Structure 1
Amino acid sequence: MSSPALQFPAPAVPESTPEPASDLPGPAPRNGRRWPVFLLPVVALLPAVIAVLQLGRIHPDEVYQALEPAWWRVHGYGVLAWEWKDGIRNWAVPGVLAGFLKLADLLGITRPQGYRAVVALPQAALHAWSVWAAYRFAARRAGPAGGWLAALLVGLYGPVLVFAGRTLGESFSASFLLVAMEALDRRERPVRAGLVGGAALGLAVVTRYPSAIFVLAALVWLVAARRWRLLAFTCAGGLVVAAGLGALDWATWGSPFHSFLAYARFNVFSEGAAARFGSDPPSYYARPLLTAVPLWAWGAALLGVAALRQRLALSLPLWCAAVYTGVLLATAHKEERFLYPGLVLAVLAAAAPVAAFIATRARADARWSLVALALGTGLGTAAFFPSSDLRADQFRAIVAATEGGGARGLLIVNEGLWGAGGFFYLGQQIPWLTCDWPQDGAFQHAMRDSSFNRAVTFEDRALAELQAAGFRVARRIGRETLLVRE
């Protein structure tokens, strides 16, 4: 006998789900437990606060595809990566960040860490919206108490704390995707849900073109679920955003959708990305996936398999995460950060059943222990994903090098151009060079040129040579040493 075809129906839940019996706090004011309402904004702000206080970068794109172009737009100088010369990026994110950077200038904020905090405001607001969306998505399945817990599981998930405050395309896109998943999951007001969901999907693509995979997966899900009205307004919301992208590219690159088409030619219709940045087998993602998925999510996977056997249904975020991960495995060029949007959607899908289990089925005396265990294992994944060195101490040393005035030129030892912080973190137009070893031409030039009176070196590399050229140690910041010379 043939097995039934796999379907993707919308969750069959009532319009208002009663709150399960639980001693976990709910949002109802009558019981005096209001603290989740105030806790979620704090959780939503954490990634931005961490990124601003820590500095550093997950990937050079954090600086050179967002912060540095924004600096260039405001100040007229900066380091523009090849993508901004070939036109395979759009100016949406740098344009918004440039507006807030200009606001910082108007407020007289000139310290790099200070205007980095101002630039973080729109991203923090976006992330707060996505955490609220995670609550609403889970509350339909687990009640208000379970919704709060699920929102905490998503908001305090280690990779979210690391990524969500970073100016990476993956970070912006994942937040928009959370909003889209919640909107398209709604059973009520399909017009509003579709417009919001479609616009959020569109903005997820504008901030990161590979997220078009999620859009296609979501549309397939809506077709399979036969939610035709929602599908129509989702397309309408997405088309409005697409029209805005076309107009932006026309104004900045001279033709509609110039950046999207150039990106597709380089990354999809040719082997440009693999040829320039390398290729890896699917096994490349094995370790990141194993270390980035928290233990409680694996438990939710078992619950999901059991439910799938009964109802033959996949939730929208789980379906989108699975399709996206499958495409990543088949794509030649691979990087750990590419996994992040899919991981966030998978965690959203897993958080709801875990929260429902703790809130309704776990013994009362064990609930808080299970909450602590789930949150702890989720937080712990931050130690493994991403595995790259953030070099946060280097960025703090670069900021310190230009504080107080007097800096005329900066040499950064044991770092390449694309690993440094650009003019954004220097905060002023002074010459700066990077090098690896004392025999490098950039190092020799800086030693001969007296305008280079600041140096930052990693783990004291070339320290003796710097001191021989008249530099003295001024300060140690983590693994970095800041040197000055008169």
Structure 2
Amino acid sequence: MAPLQRGLPGGLRVLGLLAVALVPIVVAVRELGRIHPDEVFQALEPAWWRVHGYGVLAWEWREGLRNWALPGVLAAFLKLSEVLGITDPRTYRGMVAVPQFALHAWSLWAVYRFAARRAGPTGGALAVLLLGLSGPVLLFAGRTLSESFSASFLLVAMEALDRPGTDAQARRAGILGGMALGLAVVTRYPSALFVLAALGWLVGARRWRVLAFACVGGLGVALGLGGLDWFTWGAPFHSFLAYVRFNVLSGEAAAAFGASPPEFYAQPLLRAVPLWAWAAVPLSLASLLRWRTLSLPLTCAAVYTAVLLATPHKEERFLYPALVLGLLAAASQLAAALMAIQRPGLRGVLTFSSLWLGFVRTDGYPSQDLRRDQFRAIVQATRGDAKGLLIVNEGLWGSGGFFYIGRNIPWRTCDWPRDAAFQASMRDPAFNRAVTFEGRALPELQAAGFRVVREVGRETILARD
């Protein structure tokens, strides 16, 4: 293994890492939209409810299937925005992104350390660029999805548990790795599969001291979760147990949200994996034959993916944490191979080509419409003297909630002019703003006194006096 330089990298390396970490945050705040409704209604909207006392709480929050750790952190930054007098949704969305930026930067620092142990400092920096600028990470890492937060904690855990060293170093690495694994589970309960895989890997590697202290670190986080649930739900581990009952033991998740065969994930995986990562496959096989050791992140990703394939209810976003760990292993392997090339010219060409291939086929994962223009239109429509809002061609869970409306005004969603919500809004003079997708119900809105204010992509904003 290549030796890791002591201390922090140089100033330029730190600035470069922070710049790479900032890119997906800026993309998410600038473009808005959502990968999945959970991005809003399991994170942003509960935080809004905590701060302002009103909002749309999804059924999981009524039944107690979620814990308040992540919304609580976001609520603190949302409260700070309120104290500072920030009322524009796009601005306080940027404020809420601050802790996620810090977490993502920490995870990229972990990527650097993990790869630098194998490929040296330059190889570590290359791995950060390969992973941090890959299409899936650019899209997901700035989004308030549980998969995004959990994947960042998993990267930190992989680097910590992978560290070689003395007994004292093993103690620090184990505690940090165990805490990071625990926080990955707190932010997303299915990530418990990664915990089991990581602990199994430590057993197989006979790293008993790291294993013991990882359990200590994880137990500390677990006790914190138990206390939080006791305080918020009235019983220790209420949310975790309720989640397991609904999603694992009862089969209600598949009945409520649908079931899919294993091949459901074939196309998303092909679209999501950057082209440079495929080059790491033969390199990883050669390394396995030579050293007969399994990669920790690759082992965890494989175990999780195998369970995911066997789980009836499937969604493309579920792949993301495993995908990120696979990219960590691939980027480190590829960086080590490139740094081993003795000819500088060839090494430079192949390095540049690998980085460029990270941007090829960056669209298509996930395949859903992100509705970026809709969220921007809603934000613009509810400024000024807006007293009520109608959103046409969208249901409640795709709307953006009160978080993106940014004020306590009445609002409704509907699909067609014949819908009761549309008819009631046309009769109610308080509804003086409307947003419609691709011109749906435009004649009916204009007949009710609305006039077109502006176009935002595929969305039309209307207003009436």
> 1:298 Cα shift?
1.1
Matching residue's letter, 1:133: A
> 1:163 Cα shift?
0.4
Alignment of 1:92-171 (within 5 A): 92-171=69-148
2:334 to 340, 345, 354: 354
Q: Is the 8 A contact 1:17 1:143 kept in 2?
A: yes
**3-state secondary structure, aligned to 1:474:** strand
Q: Which residue of the partner structure matches residue 445 of structure 2?
A: 466
Alignment of 1:283-322 (within 5 A): 283-322=263-302
1:83 to 31, 53, 60: 60
Distance of aligned partners of 1:294 and 1:56 in 2 relative to their CA distance in 1, 3 Å threshold = same
Q: Which residue of the partner structure matches residue 211 of structure 2?
A: 231
Q: Is the 8 A contact 1:157 1:381 kept in 2?
A: no
> 1:36 Cα shift?
2.8
> 1:204 Cα shift?
0.1
**3-state secondary structure, aligned to 1:379:** coil
1:215 aligns with 2:195: yes
1:202 aligns with 2:185: no
1:446 aligns with 2:405: no
Aligned-partner Cα distance in 2 for 1:83–1:264: 13
1:175 to 152, 158, 168: 152
Matching residue's letter, 2:172: R
2:18 to 6, 17, 41: 41
RMSD of aligned alpha carbons: 1.4
Matching residue's letter, 1:50: V
Q: Which residue of the partner structure matches residue 364 of structure 1?
A: 344
1:413 aligns with 2:386: no
Q: Which residue of the partner structure matches residue 33 of structure 2?
A: 56
1:477 aligns with 2:463: no
Q: Is the 8 A contact 1:409 1:430 kept in 2?
A: yes
> 1:315 Cα shift?
0.8
1:291-341 deviation line (CA, Å, top 9, x unaligned):
111122111011111222232221100000000110100000000000000
> 1:18 Cα shift?
8.1
Aligned length: 461
Aligned-partner Cα distance in 1 for 2:14–2:217: 30
Matching residue's letter, 1:476: E
Q: Which residue of the partner structure matches residue 68 of structure 1?
A: 45
**3-state secondary structure, aligned to 2:434:** strand
2:359 to 379, 384, 405: 379
> 1:442 Cα shift?
0.7
> 1:362 Cα shift?
6.2
1:222-244 deviation line (CA, Å, top 9, x unaligned):
00011000000000000000000
**3-state secondary structure, aligned to 1:256:** coil
Q: Is the 8 A contact 1:112 1:426 kept in 2?
A: yes
Matching residue's letter, 1:433: R
Aligned-partner Cα distance in 1 for 2:418–2:346: 62
**3-state secondary structure, aligned to 2:431:** coil
Q: Is the 8 A contact 1:274 1:332 kept in 2?
A: yes
Q: Is the 8 A contact 2:179 2:214 kept in 1?
A: yes
**3-state secondary structure, aligned to 1:482:** strand
Once the two structures are overlaid, the 10-residue window that deviates more, 151-160 or 193-202, is: 151-160
Q: Is the 8 A contact 2:230 2:238 kept in 1?
A: yes
Aligned-partner Cα distance in 2 for 1:473–1:206: 45
Aligned sequence identity (%): 69
Matching residue's letter, 2:317: R
1:332 aligns with 2:341: no
Aligned-partner Cα distance in 2 for 1:285–1:158: 17
1:117-161 deviation line (CA, Å, top 9, x unaligned):
100000000000000000000000000110100011111111111
> 1:387 Cα shift?
1.1
> 1:388 Cα shift?
0.9
Matching residue's letter, 1:84: W
> 1:267 Cα shift?
0.4
Aligned-partner Cα distance in 2 for 1:396–1:406: 17
1:456 aligns with 2:441: no
1:395 aligns with 2:372: no
1:248 aligns with 2:228: yes
> 1:430 Cα shift?
0.5
> 1:17 Cα shift?
5.1
Once the two structures are overlaid, the 10-residue window that deviates more, 360-369 or 419-428, is: 360-369
> 1:28 Cα shift?
6.9
Matching residue's letter, 1:280: S
> 1:91 Cα shift?
0.3
Q: Is the 8 A contact 1:17 1:140 kept in 2?
A: yes
Distance of aligned partners of 1:469 and 1:151 in 2 relative to their CA distance in 1, 3 Å threshold = same
Q: Is the 8 A contact 1:159 1:381 kept in 2?
A: no
Q: Which residue of the partner structure matches residue 22 of structure 1?
A: none
> 1:364 Cα shift?
1.6
**3-state secondary structure, aligned to 1:380:** coil
Aligned-partner Cα distance in 2 for 1:226–1:115: 48
**3-state secondary structure, aligned to 1:108:** coil
Structure 2 residue runs of 5 or longer lacking an equivalent are: none
Matching residue's letter, 1:193: A
1:60-86 deviation line (CA, Å, top 9, x unaligned):
000000000000000000000000000
Once the two structures are overlaid, the 10-residue window that deviates more, 137-146 or 289-298, is: 289-298
1:436 to 400, 407, 415: 415
Aligned-partner Cα distance in 2 for 1:28–1:414: 50
Structure 1 residue runs of 5 or longer lacking an equivalent are: 1-12, 20-26
> 1:168 Cα shift?
0.4
1:334-374 deviation line (CA, Å, top 9, x unaligned):
00000000000000000011111222216321333322322
Aligned-partner Cα distance in 2 for 1:207–1:222: 23
